[in-house]
Amino acid sequence: MSRTSTERPVRDELRDTVREFLARRAPMGEIRRRIATEQPYDPDVWALMSDQLGLTGLAIPDEYGGAGASWQELAVVVEELGRALLPSPYLAGVVLAGTAISCSDDEVCKKELLPRIAAGQLTAALAVLEDDGRWNAPIGLRAVPNGDGYLLDGHKSFVLDGHLADVLIVAARTARGASLFVVDGAGPGLIRTPLTTLDRTRPQARLEFAGVPARIISTEGGAGPVLARTFDLASIAAAADALGGAQRCLEMSIGYANERIAFGRPIGAFQAIKHKLADLLLEVEFARAAVERAALAAAQDTDEVPLLAGLAAAHCSQTYALVATENIHIHGGVGFTWEHDAQLYFKRAKSSQVLFGDAAVHRERVAAHLLDEPADAAG
Amino acid sequence: MSESGSPSVAAFLERAVEWLAANAERRPRGSQVRWGEGADRVALFRDTTAEDERAQVQAARSWQRTKFDAGYGAISWPVEYGGAGLTSGHEVAFRHLESEFVTPLIVEAVSISVSLEASTILALGTEEQKDRWLRPLRRGDELCCQLFSEPGAGSDLGSISLRASRAGDDWVLDGQKVWTSGAQFADVGYVVARTDAAAPRGRAFTAFLVPMDAPGIDVRPLRQMTGGTSFNEVFFDGVRVPDSARLGEIGGGWAAMMTTLAFERAGAAEGLGFSGTELVDRLVLTARKLGRSRDPMVRQRIAELYSRNRMRNWLADRAQARVDAGGLPGPEGSLSKLAYTRELQDAGDRAGSLLGPAMVADTGAWGTFAWSAFVCGVPGLRLGGGTDEIQKNTIAERILGLPKESR
């Protein structure tokens, strides 16, 4: 496909730029220092990402103040952020909330929020999960009409950036079914409690709503398709993030295998290590191919998006956990220490493995495509 | 990218598809598998009678001849040897297109001869050898078999012991080769023999092209666990050949073998038997027929097999794109082959879990006992063409840059 092949060098340049920026501005030592505090995000890095590199507006359509790039470019950015393990409002705000808003048909909302998200001036979070932590579970949070708006009662959990974001995009249940709402993060009646997390690079919060004012996006009961589409695209982003981290872990393992001496030679000379790394390379190469294909489908908006998003998310979440685990193992005892970076990637991998639905959930989408007759799909 | 003067791949394919449509039936679109229709064989090796096998070889050769005469048999070869003078990109595109048509079954004895052996002679042969062999081999008029492995030299080809001793202007070959596909049909054999007992392996071997009807050659079929005889032992007892039969330099045998194996690796992603979704399609149909398609375990495992098959094919496409853009074929073929054998293993496991005893005892039901031949073939695929462990060594050393094996 000539479009893809001529744009590949442009994406390679984007990748190099982002990687170089992160290596310079967000070294691991700085990340470790920040995640030990209440404020894991570096505001200077964030400002540079939006103002200088234009990353926040990259994939937002140009009519809403963005650069109008595709999911292929966005996937590259998310992958590099995952590789660097940078704590940042990017995933929750630009990718998750931004995608949900973009997928709706509410032009007023899009014109109001997307340009500010694109400019890096507004941070956002998407609140969908509740206590059982499943994306397609029935929604408990209730929304009742109140004048021109609505009031929300109930709670949300596991909300990425839930306590830090300026604005929240919230899934709640109305008389006509699941709907999406815009909520001011500092609004009345809203209690935002940070959760202690395994992965300190990804803050999460529990949100308690007691009569919280909210503005509906689009119409009552219209959130189903928007959330389904958002879940597909979020899955691709999760896969890209996992790919970046897995690739980095693999490189750490190869580096160590070449330099650690045991029994008179580098440990990489032994077949146990060699063969393990060959197996891991195959999984990472598969992951790369899967993310590329899923991102291409998203960029072209084909009907393979749910299938390829499920395929990529299942494989990448599993692969990241595997490579991060084996990375510790190949490093031996030092890989098990707090001070070594391997454990930070391991915690990100384990966290991601469950946060966006585990591999079995994603694989079920592939299974449905293969095994369900159209008549079955209604059941 | 096309060189000046040669047609783009798209233009080439426009003519090619017309020719193919005039010479073969198109495959029906969508899944090619219909439950209960046609043969249910899903075996990895041919286990037919000698008569049937001969007929399959003839059919494959005939199709090769038809393609060659129309300009599609040696697409990326130089024109002077019967080729079309186009690129590997054109070659690969044609093969993809060809797979959309019903053509004679690929027979290893023929495909190895047409691709690997002919390409090796193109790379290493003298002008006389190229004039003598290239056209007949590429056209399928004559067949060449490959004689590397020995009972004492499998993964470790450095242990080859079949001897070629100088006798005046001739050489005399003594020893044994094993796992030779198609030796019973071949006109000529590409043999690698030890010519220096003391030298390191890089200089110890020499390659020869030996007529398979030469006195002293004895071809004996090898029976494999699937029941068939795809391979042979070939005994050399005082086989005399002139020096003009030597392929490459004296002591150039190791390099010749590595050249041939590189072609094998480059073609590995393309030439693998079940590259499409045929196996997954069969398993999906089987699950439905048995009423197991709602079973969560079945759903998960088939979805995973499907996913890995697609990822393997994407990887192969990326490797090919690199070659089309002017890169050399790399060791990615090792990743493909490794992934392929794992896929086959997994497919066999899926079939077993779905079919239960019907896979291992023939009830006569369509699409059940047929899988037993498949399952018996998988161990062979993990061994031939470079074992899984050799592939992993290659991946680790040549892609990841890890230290080589200590020798």
Q: What are B293-308's pLDDT values in tens digits?
A: 999 999 999 999 999 9
The answer to whether position B276 is within a domain reads yes
CB distance from A265 to chain B under 8 Å?
Answer: yes
pLDDT at B263 over 90: no
Whichever domain contains B381, its CATH number is 1.20.140.10
Give the pLDDT band (50/70/90) at residue B262: confident
Shared domain check, B136 and B195: no
Partners of residue A190 on adjacent β-strands: A209
The answer to whether position B370 is within a domain reads yes
User: For A273, which residue in chain B has the nearest alpha carbon?
Assistant: B396
Distance from CA of A5 to the nearest CA of B (A): 9
Shared domain check, B307 and B251: no
Shared domain check, B342 and B373: yes
Is residue B264 flagged as an active site residue? yes
Give the pLDDT band (50/70/90) at residue A343: very high
Q: What residue ranges define each of the domains in chain A, with the CATH number in brackets? A: 2-122 (1.10.540.10), 125-221 (2.40.110.10), 224-377 (1.20.140.10)
Shared domain check, B295 and B226: no
End-to-end CA distance of chain A: 38
Of B311, B338, B403, the CB nearest to A315: B311
The answer to whether position B261 is within a domain reads no
The answer to whether position B291 is within a domain reads yes
CB distance from B35 to chain A under 8 Å?
Answer: no
Shared domain check, B237 and B180: yes
DSSP three-state, residue B327: coil
Of the candidates B143, B162, B193, which is a domain's last residue?
B143
CB B217 within 8 A of CB B150: no
CB distance from B327 to chain A under 8 Å?
Answer: no
Does the beta-carbon distance from B338 to A278 stay under 8 Å?
yes
Which pLDDT score is estimated for B230?
86
Q: Using an 8 Å CB-CB cutoff, list chain B residues near A290.
A: 307, 311, 314
CB distance from B320 to chain A under 8 Å?
Answer: no
CB distance from B391 to chain A under 8 Å?
Answer: yes
Give the pLDDT band (50/70/90) at residue A4: very low
Q: What pLDDT digit, counting tens, does each position of B100-150 carry?
A: 888 888 888 999 999 889 999 999 999 999 999 999 999 999 999 999 999
Give the pLDDT band (50/70/90) at residue A326: very high
Shared domain check, B120 and B100: yes
Shared domain check, B194 and B105: no
**Percent of all residues in chain A with a pLDDT value above 90, rounded to a whole number:** 92
Does the beta-carbon distance from B311 to A5 stay under 8 Å?
no
User: For B281, which residue in chain A has the nearest alpha carbon?
Assistant: A370
Q: Using an 8 Å CB-CB cutoff, list chain B residues near A279.
A: 392
Q: Which three-class secondary structure string do you get for chain A?
A: CHHHHHHHHHHHHHHHHHHHHHHHHCCHHHHHHHHCCCCCCCHHHHHHHHHHCCCCCCCCCHHHCCCCCCHHHHHHHHHHHHHHCCCCCHHHHHHHHHHHHHHCCCHHHHHHHHHHHHCCCCCEEEECCCCCCCCCCCCCCEEEEECCEEEEEEEEEEEECCCCCCEEEEEEEECCEEEEEEEECCCCCEEEEEECCCCCCCCEEEEEEEEEEEEEECCCCCHHHHHHHHHHHHHHHHHHHHHHHHHHHHHHHHHHHHHCEECCEEHHHCHHHHHHHHHHHHHHHHHHHHHHHHHHHHHHCCCCHHHHHHHHHHHHHHHHHHHHHHHHHHHHHHHHCCCCCHHHHHHHHHHHHHHCCCHHHHHHHHHHHHHCCHHHHCC
Which pLDDT score is estimated for A312?
98
Please compute the mean of the pLDDT values over residues A13-42 and round it to a whole number.
95
Which pLDDT score is estimated for B29?
66
Please compute the mean of the pLDDT values over residues A71-76 and round it to a whole number.
98
pLDDT at B211 over 70: yes
More confident residue, B107 or B20: B20
CB distance from A254 to chain B under 8 Å?
Answer: yes
Give the pLDDT band (50/70/90) at residue B89: confident
Give the pLDDT band (50/70/90) at residue A191: very high
DSSP 8-state symbol, B78:
-
**Summary mean pLDDT of chain B:** 90
CB distance from A261 to chain B under 8 Å?
Answer: no
The CA distances from residue A119 to A59, A79, A127, B339, in Å, are: 12, 21, 22, 44
> What is the residue range of B308's domain?
272-399
The answer to whether position B201 is within a domain reads yes
Shared domain check, B156 and B81: no
CB distance from B297 to chain A under 8 Å?
Answer: no
User: For A255, which residue in chain B has the nearest alpha carbon?
Assistant: B402
- Angle CA B198–B201–B202, to nearest 5: 115
The answer to whether position B388 is within a domain reads yes
Interface predicted TM-score (ipTM): 0.90
Please compute the mean of the pLDDT values over residues A125-145 and round it to a whole number.
94
Shared domain check, B154 and B138: no
Of B284, B299, B391, the CB nearest to A364: B299
Which pLDDT score is estimated for A38?
86
Which pLDDT score is estimated for A379?
35
Whichever domain contains B85, its CATH number is 1.10.540.10
Tell me how many residue pairs between chain A and chain B have CB atoms under 8 A apart: 107
pLDDT at A377 over 50: no
CB distance from B338 to chain A under 8 Å?
Answer: yes
User: For B296, which residue in chain A has the nearest alpha carbon?
Assistant: A364
Which pLDDT score is estimated for B268?
57
User: For A274, which residue in chain B has the nearest alpha carbon?
Assistant: B396
Nearest to B299 by CA among A361, A150, A97: A361
Please compute the mean of the pLDDT values over residues A344-360 and round it to a whole number.
93
Task: State the amino acid at position B7 in one-letter form.
Answer: P
Least confident range of A175-189, A244-258, B52-66, B317-331? B317-331
Structure tokens at B342: 């794992």
Which pLDDT score is estimated for A155?
97
Q: Which residues of A91-122 are buried (b: 16+ CB within 10 A; e: fewer)?
A: bbbbbbbbbbbbbbebeebbebbbbbbbbbeb
Q: Using an 8 Å CB-CB cutoff, list chain B residues near A239.
A: none
Which pLDDT score is estimated for B302?
97
Of the candidates B99, B119, B143, which is a domain's last residue?
B143
Please compute the mean of the pLDDT values over residues A118-133 and round it to a whole number.
96
Shared domain check, B375 and B304: yes
pLDDT at B405 over 60: yes
Shared domain check, B329 and B288: yes
The answer to whether position B406 is within a domain reads no
Spatial separation of the C-alpha atoms in residues A366 and A300, rounded to whole Å: 20
pTM: 0.90
Partners of residue A182 on adjacent β-strands: A169, A215
Please compute the mean of the pLDDT values over residues A43-66 and round it to a whole number.
96
**Percent of all residues in chain B with a pLDDT value above 70, rounded to a whole number:** 93
Shared domain check, B75 and B123: yes
Which pLDDT score is estimated for B270?
54
Does the beta-carbon distance from B402 to A311 stay under 8 Å?
no
Catalytic residue among B91, B108, B117, B264: B264
pLDDT at B1 over 60: no
**Percent of all residues in chain B with a pLDDT value above 90, rounded to a whole number:** 68
Q: What pLDDT digit, counting tens, does each position of A193-207 carry?
A: 999 999 999 999 999
The answer to whether position B263 is within a domain reads no
pLDDT at A3 over 60: no
Give the pLDDT band (50/70/90) at residue B2: very low
Of the candidates B143, B178, B200, which is a domain's last residue?
B143
Listed as own residue / partner, the contacts of A15-21 with beta carbons closer than 8 Å and 24 or more positions apart are A15/A76, A15/A79, A15/A80, A17/A53, A18/A53, A18/A55, A18/A76, A18/A77, A18/A80, A18/A81, A19/A80, A19/A83, A19/A84, A21/A48, A21/A49, A21/A53
Number of domains making up chain B: 3
